[in-house]
Amino acid sequence: MYKHFFKRVIDFLASFIGFIILLPLFIVITVFLFFANDGKPFFFQRRPGKKGKVFSIIKFKTMNDKKDAEGKLLPDEVRLTSVGKFVRKTSLDEIPQLLNVIKGDMSLIGPRPLLTDYLHLYNEFQSRRHEVKPGITGWAQVNGRNAISWDKKFEYDVWYVDNISFVLDLRILLKTIQKVIKSEGINAQDGNSTEPFNGYN
């Protein structure tokens, strides 16, 4: 009953109330990023949701679009603005995704939505992460986020799918708050974002 009904009710109410409470902060961050990113405070990207259905995820834009002489984007660490670095470190870049949850594309808790480029690379086990709606945070995020291997991420994602419950979601939410406060697991062990998924089993 929780998985098929109450989870959505809680998602909508919590996200709506949360967005209203965070609206002043949302506006302030939007203004700062507007000037830091040449008028582009938001980042939109197509991501697969439940059953692989693609939707547009919205986040605060933490990197600018500066390019080299050949027209190629500069490395991530160069394009990451000072404001963006703070927003990313504090996980404030996730706030706009509350709109995705309100709309129904996402859940507060669930496997993180990955790139659409990875869809054809998943094996049967890895594809099971799409049996539920993707989340702003999830079991993999509170157990390492970008600091763990792809194999471990999929293992955690599928484990969540098989064990979803209100108690587990509450546990993940509390651990997420703890992780955000401590700024743990934001980047991989080498200090950069996680490596792209290559489709290995």
Q: What is the pLDDT along the chain (201 residues), one digit of tens a residue?
A: 899 899 999 999 999 999 999 999 999 999 999 999 989 999 999 999 999 999 999 999 999 888 888 888 888 888 988 899 999 888 899 999 999 999 999 999 999 999 999 999 999 999 999 999 999 999 999 998 777 899 999 999 999 999 999 999 999 999 998 888 876 655 443 334 568 898 865
User: Closest Cα partner for 115 from 200, 198, 33, 201?
Assistant: 198
- To the question of pTM greater than 0.95 for the whole model, the response is no
Q: Where do the domains of the chain lie? A: 2-182
Nearest to 111 by CA among 133, 143, 142, 88: 133
End-to-end CA distance of the chain: 33
With vertex at residue 128, the alpha carbon angle to CA 122 and CA 133, rounded to the nearest 5 degrees, is: 110
